[in-house]
Chain A
Amino acid sequence: MALLNVNTGECTGCGACVSECPFGALSLVDNIAVADDKCTACGACLEVCPVEALSLPERPQAAAEGLAGYQGVWVWIEQFKGQACGIAWEMLGQGRKLADQRKTALTACVLGHNVEHITKEAVAFGADRVFWVDDPTLAVYRTQPYANTLVNLVRRYKPEIFLLGASSRGRDLAGSVATELYTGLTADCTGLDIDLEKGLLRQTRPAFGGNIMATIICPNYRPQMSTVRHRVFELPNADPARKGQVIAVKPAVSEEQIATRVVDFIVEQGQVNLADAKIIVSGGRGVGGPDGFKPIRELADVLGGAVGSSRAAVDAGWIPYPHQVGQTGRTVRPDLYIACGISGAVQHLAGMSTAKVIVAINKDAEAPIFSVANYGILGDLFQVVPALTAAFKKRLHK
């Protein structure tokens, strides 16, 4: 199923493409380049071929006049229990920058019940226009009424770019909306900018557990949709004096048409939102048992942070799964990540290596966690962590 076409008459067997391929899909057979199923049509090899022997199948060309009708940058303002989520303002801040670069307007979509205050905040954080859909059916997020309402708005007002936070709700919603609209969605981005020449949104995201980064575009379909991870973009400053237009819109469906009912919300005691946390103190195999998380929790409490863990500690039953950081847990991006008794397996690093500052506390000098850490203390966490807690207590006057 290789996608790459190799002109065997032109190929000189130089092998430049083989070493360039990020997926290891190319090899030389009888001195001719051959691509296998691993080819993703990324095109990395095209540029290095000295004789232009490589090509990719043609893609459909968009009707340019159709795309020009799509204008403006939109952001979905996620809310939980009537309060806007931080990630929504991060998206709005970046949306403002993109809208300015495209010389276009920024629109916020506020869906909920009794959320008029959020429309005002959205204007303060940079929106020129707010679509405000206020209805009891929208009080708690549900896929169908949210997706259908946004699909209707997009079809009517035709935005060029539509951004959502890559939270659980954001990813649930974006997939549904993009499928219905038949447009491109790039999930879980860590970078967004505008290709000024082509006017396209360049969406950068990690793949393969963070081992490679890919930049993705959506040239022929609109809107260009992205979800972006927590804490990638900075919180913008609110300007209460800003003026914007607020347009009240009716929801797309009524309660009788909605298939789901949210009947309960369970919050465990001591549960914390890792995705939003500025500081995370995590424990791994080295904590030795459920009680071993006590000093970890104490340090987190002093710092006002959240408690995370490695997979080993979750699988051992020492701490519940929602605390797990890493490939099969949560991906986090705090300002400070303190790894205590965590060796730093690749799967764990995939979930936290973009933290601003990483501290490793471990007995084993060879532990891979030290290779990504900014600071480290070599020693027993049961001695180091309480000492660190005491040091912060003193300095933070607690």
Chain B
Amino acid sequence: MNIIVCIKQVPDTTEVKINPETGTLIREGVPSIINPFDTYAIEESLRLKEKFGGKVTVISMGPPQAVEALKEAVAMGADEAVLLSDRAFAGSDTWATAYTLSRAIRKLGAFDVILCGKQAIDGDTGQVGPGIARQLGVTQLTYVFKIQKLEPETRTIAVERLLEEGREVVETKLPVLLTVVKDINQPRYPTFLGIRRATKMQIPTWGAADLGDVDPTKLGLKGSPTQVVKIFSPPKREGKVDLISADSFDQAAATLADKLLAEKVI
């Protein structure tokens, strides 16, 4: 079974702070990590490989240092990795990112399953997975919570998708692109042997020229339909907390209940 995992290196947004004076993002010293949702995609790919055999290839588009994320995936157990890095890719929005990744996947050859995280924690769009599926013309199953069955002989897959109202069970044929949610598994830690392998591995970097049949006008900033025109700090929540204290919790609770009813939110 040929499995491809698309991952993104992101700043650990939990460490991102706002400079209160300038209102801008302080990214100095903020560690880069594999997008948390993508670690579930990597884990799921490794489980599929362990069950059905085959190969796991991890790809990422980003600056040269994104190779560290790929090495971590190799340390977890991925067989191969490719970095897509080129000045021509810079400034890509979700459309151009999906286009570039899909061209790289096409170059990698035949695949059975493509796995992505449901979204990245920096951009939070969740649109690149569906974009890749559409570019490649494969079936997409998003927000996958569980792979119920996978039969390589009949090339049938059934998954549970996590929706607002419950879990939907969908069946389709391979090849398929899945985007996964957190609860699908518990990602493993890199092994000692894996880390040693990753350290030694030369991970190839592909630029625009390596992707073969690409339309250069659809890459990077030039190929991106959307433009960011303004960046600003979110409005702060106004006022300070009204700490309710009273002689007893019953009294405090009664006061709070009255205030909440007065707010007309109940």
Contacts and interface: CB of A to CB of B under 8 A. Distances in A.
Contacts of B258: 395
B2 interface: no
Nearest to B135: A179
Interface stretch (A108-116, A129-137, A168-176, A236-244): A168-176
Interface in A262-310: 262-268, 271, 273-276, 278-279, 303
Interface in B98-147: 98, 121-131, 133-135, 139-143, 145
B222 A171 contact: no
Contact of A171 (B126, B182, B244): B126
Nearest to A202: B229
A217 B231 contact: no
Contacts of B233: 211-213
A388 B169 contact: no
Interface string A214-236: 11111111000000000000000
B65 to A, nearest CB: 8
Nearest to B143: A168
A274 B166 CA distance: 11
Most chain A Cβ neighbours within 10 Å, of B36, B89, B233, B241: B241
Interface in B205-253: 217-218, 221-222, 224-234, 237, 239, 241-245, 249-250, 252-253
Interface stretch (A15-23, A119-127, A155-163, A247-255): A15-23
B127 A187 contact: yes
Most chain A Cβ neighbours within 10 Å, of B141, B158, B234: B234
A238 to B, nearest CB: 21
Contacts of B121: 209, 327-328
A57 interface: yes
B172 to A, nearest CB: 4
Given A208-B11, A209-B13, A357-B263, A1 B126 contact: no
Most chain A Cβ neighbours within 10 Å, of B13, B161, B250: B13
B217 A3 contact: no
A359 B63 contact: no
B97 to A, nearest CB: 11
Given A209-B121, A345-B14, A217 B260 contact: no
A207 B122 contact: yes
Interface in A143-190: 143-144, 147, 167-169, 171-172, 174-176, 178-180, 182-188
Contacts of B230: 42, 44, 214-215
Nearest to B228: A42
Contacts of B145: 321
Interface stretch (B24-32, B43-51, B75-83, B191-199): B24-32
Interface residues of A, number: 118
B119 to A, nearest CB: 8
Contact of B229 (A21, A144, A217): A217
Contact of A391 (B170, B221, B245, B254): B254
B117 to A, nearest CB: 10
B24 A303 contact: no
A322 interface: yes
A41 interface: yes
B164 A218 contact: no
Most chain B Cβ neighbours within 10 Å, of A180, A208, A335: A208
Contacts of A206: 124, 234
Contacts of A40: 91, 228
A63 interface: no
A180 B134 contact: yes
B228 A329 contact: no
Interface string B31-55: 0000011000000000000000000
B183 interface: yes
B127 A212 contact: no
B171 interface: yes
A210 B235 CA distance: 10
Nearest to A60: B222
B134 A179 contact: yes
A85 B52 CA distance: 40
B25 A22 contact: yes
Contacts of B26: 24
B151 interface: no
Contacts of A182: 95, 218, 225
A267 B165 contact: yes
B57 interface: no
Contact of A41 (B135, B168, B221, B239): B221
A388 B227 CA distance: 48
Most chain A Cβ neighbours within 10 Å, of B36, B63, B227, B232: B227
Most chain A Cβ neighbours within 10 Å, of B93, B161, B257: B257
Contacts of B63: 1, 37
A55 interface: no
Given A187-B125, A263-B158, A336-B260, A377 B226 contact: no
Contacts of B224: 184
Contact of A387 (B37, B163, B222, B252): B252
Nearest to B128: A175
Contacts of B160: 266
Given A143-B140, A263-B158, A377 B256 contact: yes
A266 B169 contact: yes
B194 to A, nearest CB: 24
B227 A1 contact: no
Given A179-B134, A262-B168, A391-B250, 10 more contacts: A37-B90, A59-B222, A175-B128, A179-B98, A184-B95, A186-B226, A209-B122, A279-B266, A357-B260, A377-B245
17 contacts: A1-B85, A20-B24, A22-B232, A23-B25, A44-B231, A175-B129, A176-B130, A178-B131, A182-B225, A188-B125, A214-B231, A260-B139, A321-B181, A358-B237, A377-B245, A384-B253, A392-B257
